[in-house]
Structure 1
């Protein structure tokens, strides 16, 4: 970082050094946002890799396709610019035999109107463009999931890649059947199809690839939500047992269960908190769940800190700042996954903890059960659902005007709802059927 701007610095290979006339690349990302700078860095590295491959004669299929399209468009422009008293074509003014193989293929394609399969957009090429296109908003977790979906689909087809336009609904149905036989849930398979469908739409509308009518990844009747069971809430005994089991713990291992109970926030949201996300709103200390941390756009919110955890969070903030940590929990900040998620490691820890401390007895409980529990308590205390969803980040059911202009109830009212969350508000045996996803 220089000043408030991140720079990319990369030592170049000998062939790039010779071509570019310098040994070191230094390029400004023109942003102070680290996540945005990392995306720009990744794109720069891809472009350098492609340039080196071209210089070495080792262009990838995606690169060859781009060269083909660029050459064809260039030839069209040349032919349209020819001015002569006699009817002339491009073939009359150039020497095709002196063109490269790709340029010759592009020239033939221009006159025949046919594109050889090797230059048609492939699934991997669509994924590559989608991953790095500045026109697409995507979280690291979405990038990872869609990349995984492509790997699984190609594995099912038994090939390294496939022309996008050649994919059939029969192949997609075979993929669905295979994944279900392997034990994947309908929801998981539906997520794969959603990602693959997004790549098809990107190719069709952003890359302007001529594709057959009808997206083959859409319209498969999985009905995944009908098979999903919501999480059960915790009983008072459960919460007390979890708190007792972690009372000697420190840092994230002490605070995480208490934050879950007193805020109703999702585990990934809590693990992704940065020191700059502890803020004051109207004099009320809050956790700020930013865009990209939560499940969807409704998850963006500021959650008031319950009096039982506010001093603990502020102390954790001081400790994190003292060691120079960007994240509220340095343990979570040290997690480095390709999908960018900070929570899976601690989700596994919490699962092991509950296996030892509370009886499941057929219930579906996890860290998400804190969320169910918090919502149940606030609703049971008489607070309106519209207030509770501003605290927990569910769909707010607002009118169009309210979505644009309404900023939610004031923070003192939100804090009152949060303060209703108490262990004593829970029954010894859970009798509530309310559940939340």
Structure 2
């Protein structure tokens, strides 16, 4: 039953009730507040308790019958709140209450009880059964939703992450009709997120376990848990799925509405921060760079000077590096995060001076399709192993940067921050980084030949700190290419 909170204001005593999270969207409010119209002491507490009971019944009916009118049910419940005190009052369910008050107050309470009875607060009738039709098994709806995602050409990473989240949810709540997914199921999911171990799929002790078994095992261990932002992403994916079901009228409301993992302050605290000049000097200190593999050498440099996302860089093909109207740049056009991510990014002079174009030519001569051969092109994408190496080994262990708000994605924030300090407008920064900018021309065509020179000049205006990055001699990675070809040949012979 909703717990009443009595509030003493200048205009008199009020009672406030918290609306259950799963019903706030339908009710349209987080709280319900009502004046007690001058009533105090025992009578005020009685009236608040009676209204709380009536509201609990109204909330129950809203859950049982998603097609019912919340305004009508709540109006009936609130109509039972009049003022007054009682002597001896017997409720329809047999409960007797004794208190003190005037005859007029006593009569008002009796009238209130009659109103509450009419509203159904004390009815022993069985709850109204749902009248909505069956919507299909949860597993079936998940399968169809994921198929729709593929048809919309979402990125493989997005599809993979969404499939994982929905698989966990299904494993936790069981396969049931979609219409039977309830707030209790949301509680189960939120509890699982609170205990789910970070990188569980990569830890042998959790291999082969069902989601329920993972949670049970994790509750007895001291493993590091999911970061708040990661939990929020899981909740967001589930929310999108259920909203799709609601939009298609398969369910009456989204059980995820009103749920959050973090508050605004926590979100701001978890936001990735840009690298400062000290960080950059440590990251590109020649003693910290061992260019054995091309992706470990070039991807951090490209991240700094282009602001591109990790997977955008890791999946580049050699044909994506092109010279257009005298401007060298790279096409970001394959598996992108959103439509505005498709773009052509001019290369700064530093990248040309460091020999990036020479490296591309050597990869072409070795007949490799990808700019960074050897990276896996399936699963979470080629950026996954690069991120693991950079964030866990290079950043933390080699360079000693242990701030949890800094990762490879901080290069993107660094680029945007330096661009802003250099006087570029938000729209021009978005044009370089692939952020959505409202009705930006990015949504129409990502090469934008007419603005190419302007973008080349913009990226050249950004003032970066002076760093001691050494250019590698031409053909430096040719031995790596030969070793990779030898490994591929051995694999083919085994097959």
TM-score calculated relative to the size of structure 2? 0.54
Query: Are 1:176 and 2:190 an aligned pair?
Result: yes
Cα distance, 1:279–1:137 mapped onto 2, change above 3 Å = same
1:142 Cα deviation after fit: 2.1
Query: Are 1:268 and 2:311 an aligned pair?
Result: yes
User: Residues of 2 paired with 1:362 and 1:197: CA distance?
Assistant: 31
Q: Residues 236-275 of structure 1 correspond to what in structure 2 (within 5 A)?
A: 236-243=277-284, 244=286, 245-246=288-289, 248-275=291-318
Cα distance, 1:329–1:121 mapped onto 2, change above 3 Å = same
Query: Are 1:195 and 2:237 an aligned pair?
Result: yes
Cα distance, 1:191–1:238 mapped onto 2, change above 3 Å = closer
Partner of 1:149: 165
User: Residues of 2 paired with 1:235 and 1:250: CA distance?
Assistant: 26
Q: Deviations over 1:54-83 (max 9, x none)?
A: xxxxxxxxxxxxxxxxxxxxxxxxxxxxxx
Q: Is the 8 A contact 2:340 2:442 kept in 1?
A: no
Cα distance, 1:115–1:360 mapped onto 2, change above 3 Å = closer
User: Residues of 1 paired with 2:141 and 2:368: CA distance?
Assistant: 37
Partner of 1:413: 454
User: Residues of 1 paired with 2:404 and 2:425: CA distance?
Assistant: 27
Of residues 135, 138, 145, the one that matches 2:154 is 138
Cα distance, 1:123–1:225 mapped onto 2, change above 3 Å = farther
Partner of 1:127: 142
Q: Deviations over 1:271-310 (max 9, x none)?
A: 01112211233331111111533x3332221111111113
User: Residues of 1 paired with 2:260 and 2:176: CA distance?
Assistant: 24
Higher alpha-carbon Rg: 2
Cα distance, 1:234–1:184 mapped onto 2, change above 3 Å = closer
For residue 152 of structure 1, give the secondary structure of its aligned residue in structure 2: helix
Cα distance, 1:195–1:234 mapped onto 2, change above 3 Å = closer
User: Residues of 2 paired with 1:191 and 1:416: CA distance?
Assistant: 37
Query: Are 1:394 and 2:435 an aligned pair?
Result: yes
Of residues 352, 364, 370, the one that matches 2:411 is 370
Q: Is the 8 A contact 2:295 2:372 kept in 1?
A: yes
Partner of 1:347: 387
User: Residues of 2 paired with 1:290 and 1:225: CA distance?
Assistant: 33
Cα distance, 1:250–1:377 mapped onto 2, change above 3 Å = same
The one of the two structures with greater contact order (alpha-carbon pairs below 8 A, sep at least 6) is 1
Cα distance, 1:425–1:319 mapped onto 2, change above 3 Å = closer
1:204 Cα deviation after fit: 6.0
1:184 Cα deviation after fit: 3.1
Partner of 1:80: none
Q: Residues 24-63 of structure 1 correspond to what in structure 2 (within 5 A)?
A: none
Q: Deviations over 1:245-282 (max 9, x none)?
A: 22544411211121111111111111011122112333
User: Residues of 2 paired with 1:363 and 1:259: CA distance?
Assistant: 22
Q: Is the 8 A contact 1:291 1:297 kept in 2?
A: no
1:218 Cα deviation after fit: 3.4
Comparing 245-254 with 260-269, which one deviates more in the overlay? 245-254
Of residues 215, 219, 231, the one that matches 2:254 is 215
1:219 Cα deviation after fit: 3.6
| Superposed CA RMSD | 3.2
For residue 350 of structure 2, give the secondary structure of its aligned residue in structure 1: coil
User: Residues of 1 paired with 2:308 and 2:422: CA distance?
Assistant: 19
Query: Are 1:310 and 2:352 an aligned pair?
Result: yes
Structure 2: any 5+ residue segments left out of the alignment?
Answer: 1-130, 197-224, 468-495
1:425 Cα deviation after fit: 5.9
Of residues 180, 183, 187, the one that matches 1:166 is 180
User: Residues of 2 paired with 1:324 and 1:303: CA distance?
Assistant: 24
Q: Is the 8 A contact 2:419 2:463 kept in 1?
A: no
For residue 323 of structure 2, give the secondary structure of its aligned residue in structure 1: strand
Q: Deviations over 1:21-40 (max 9, x none)?
A: xxxxxxxxxxxxxxxxxxxx
TM-score calculated relative to the size of structure 1? 0.60
User: Residues of 1 paired with 2:459 and 2:424: CA distance?
Assistant: 10
Q: Is the 8 A contact 1:190 1:224 kept in 2?
A: no
